[in-house]
Amino acid sequence: MSSKVLIIGAGGVGGVVAHKCAAARDVFSDVMLASRTLSKVTAIAAEVEQLQGRRIQTAQIDADDVPALTRLLRDYQPKLVINVALPYQDLHIMDACLEAGVDYLDTANYEPLDVAKFEYSWQWAYQERFKARGLMALLGSGFDPGVTNVYCAYAQKHLLDEVHYVDIVDCNGGSHGKAFATNFNPEINIREITARGRYWEQGEWKETDPLSVSAMFDYPGVGERKSFLLYHEELESLAKNLRGLKRIRFWMTFGEAYLKHLEVLGNVGMTRIDEVMYEGKGVIPIRFLKALLPDPASLAAGYSGKTSIGCLVEGVKNGERKRHLIYNICDHAETYKEVRAQAVSYTTGVPAVTGAVMMATGKWRGEGVFNMEEMDPDPFLADVATRGLPWHVEER
Ligand code: NDP
């Protein structure tokens, strides 16, 4: 059975999702890309036609306008929506899906505009409404969250009887040649990195000052890199869903130049998210900064090097202590060749498409709101490997 899919958001990730949905002819009978700025939508659609040889439909939509989005959903009647706009839109898109009776998928959990805080409570609160409508919402189907959650589910199903310790390790060993740029939406990225660090241990959340804890980690395909402890949203659902867990943390690498720029920008107030009056007009510094920084999608041409992201899982198998690293390596230049995107957009967009394929084909099915680790990891991992993100397991 083949299905219609509606993609919302025409940024770096939206471009990858559009290419990969168009390429999945056997699953998606019809593909529509809709976003706030129509020129970005039509530019992606033209590239998809050129590279995939398939025409996709396009629409202009402000996803925060729930009645307008509901009308678009009722007219187009997709099987599901892939939300790759920004986390601020999550609840509005979920509301429209409920109104129109459409399944929902995203790659990042809801964040309110005026507080740099992300947690699942707002979206988990939709559980009963999705259930009552017989609909499915799949949360966080990117790489991290997303594939990392599925790696943990795989470890729990196949590698270990009990998973005790998880360290999610995320390295972008690539270079875009700019003095300072972010690899995905700058506002969301900077809000995440400048927040206080947090990890879960023995049933409790422990906080650290931003970027104050670091460790060296040997990333396959990249080598040793200094990695910083951050709070990341998948920790919340994995702490709840992994049996016997004792500790879970998240680590990400940053270069010296990136950290120096971030420190200076923070010191002068450019990363503030509250309104500042300037010449009689209200300005939000982080929004202004976003306007100055390179568009993440524009970094793709000429990006070299690799990303290496995985889960280091430790626990017990048949009474013995075991430690495995499950990971993927992705090459910026290769992803550019394939879909004109850098590897950060690619590693987010491909799992979103695999999640959508799982839902459209019924391999993953449920009524209500789900995190990735609640589903069977096997069909997802088999599919994501064929779409461009092979994975490996190494005993450490
Ligand atoms: P971009 O900023 O490049 O793209 C966001 C797109 O969403 C833009 O086209 C923007 O439109 C559109 N948009 C914003 N607001 C609205 C609205 N109200 N209605 C309709 N469209 C809107 O971001 P990325 O592509 O880099 O990231 C997309 C998502 O992926 C983000 O939520 C990000 O957090 C998530 N992500 C997840 C990762 C994971 O591994 N799980 C990793 C990386 C990113 P406009 O052009 O008009 O601004």
Residue range 32-79, pLDDT digits in tens:
999 999 999 999 999 999 999 999 999 999 999 999 999 999 999 999
Strands 103-106 and 320-331: unpaired
Whether residue 53 sits in one domain with residue 193 = no
For residue 246, what is the domain's CATH number? 3.30.360.10
What pLDDT was estimated at residue 297?
A: 84
What pLDDT was estimated at residue 2?
A: 57
346 pocket-lining for ligand 1 (C-beta < 6 Å): no
Output the residue whose Cα is nearest ligand 1's atom 7.
85
Per-residue pLDDT for 211 more than 90?
Answer: yes
Whether residue 160 sits in one domain with residue 128 = no
Per-residue pLDDT for 262 more than 80?
Answer: yes
What pLDDT was estimated at residue 186?
A: 87
| pLDDT, mean of residues 183-210 | 92
40 pocket-lining for ligand 1 (C-beta < 6 Å): yes
174 pocket-lining for ligand 1 (C-beta < 6 Å): no
Domain carrying residue 91: 3-142+345-393
Whether residue 306 sits in one domain with residue 179 = yes
Q: How far is the CA of 215 from the centre of ligand 1 (A)?
A: 30
65 pocket-lining for ligand 1 (C-beta < 6 Å): no
Atom of ligand 1 nearest to the CA of 40: 46
Which residue, of 301, 323, 341, is where some domain finishes? 341
List 349's β-bridge partners, or say none: none
Whether residue 154 sits in one domain with residue 294 = yes
15 pocket-lining for ligand 1 (C-beta < 6 Å): no
252 pocket-lining for ligand 1 (C-beta < 6 Å): no
Site to probe by mutation for ligand 1, drawn from 13, 191, 339, 340 as the one with most ligand atoms within 8 Å of Cβ, is: 13
Tell me the pLDDT of the chain averaged across its residues.
Answer: 96
What pLDDT was estimated at residue 37?
A: 97
Whether residue 87 sits in one domain with residue 159 = no
Whether residue 186 sits in one domain with residue 330 = yes
Whether residue 264 sits in one domain with residue 133 = no
Q: Residues near 45 by Cβ (< 8 Å), separated by ≥ 6?
A: 18, 33, 55, 56, 58
Domains in the chain, number = 2
Q: Of all residues in the chain, what percent carry a pLDDT higher than 90?
A: 91
Per-residue pLDDT for 191 more than 90?
Answer: no
Contact 45, 115 (CB under 8 A): no
Q: How far is the CA of 11 from the centre of ligand 1 (A)?
A: 5
144 pocket-lining for ligand 1 (C-beta < 6 Å): yes
Whether residue 83 sits in one domain with residue 40 = yes
For residue 90, what is the domain's CATH number? 3.40.50.720
Q: Of all residues in the chain, what percent carry a pLDDT higher than 70?
A: 99
Which residue, of 300, 315, 341, is where some domain finishes? 341
Q: Is the dihedral of CA 219, 391, 343, 197 positive or negative?
A: negative
Per-residue pLDDT for 104 more than 70?
Answer: yes
Whether residue 154 sits in one domain with residue 117 = no
Atom of ligand 1 nearest to the CA of 12: 25
The tens digit of pLDDT for each residue in 128-173 reads 999 999 999 999 999 999 999 999 999 999 999 999 999 999 999 9
What pLDDT was estimated at residue 1?
A: 53
Q: How far is the CA of 241 from the centre of ligand 1 (A)?
A: 27
Tokens 């490996």 sit on residue:
392
330 pocket-lining for ligand 1 (C-beta < 6 Å): no
* CA–CA distances in Å: residue 350 to residues 163, 175, 204, 259: 27, 21, 33, 28
pLDDT bucket at 124, cuts 50 / 70 / 90:
very high
Whether residue 329 sits in one domain with residue 184 = yes
Whether residue 69 sits in one domain with residue 49 = yes
Q: How far is the CA of 174 from the centre of ligand 1 (A)?
A: 21
Whether residue 337 sits in one domain with residue 230 = yes
161 pocket-lining for ligand 1 (C-beta < 6 Å): no
Per-residue pLDDT for 230 more than 60?
Answer: yes
Q: How far is the CA of 322 from the centre of ligand 1 (A)?
A: 38
What is the spatial distance between Cα 369 and Cα 114, in angstroms, rounded to a whole number?
Answer: 25
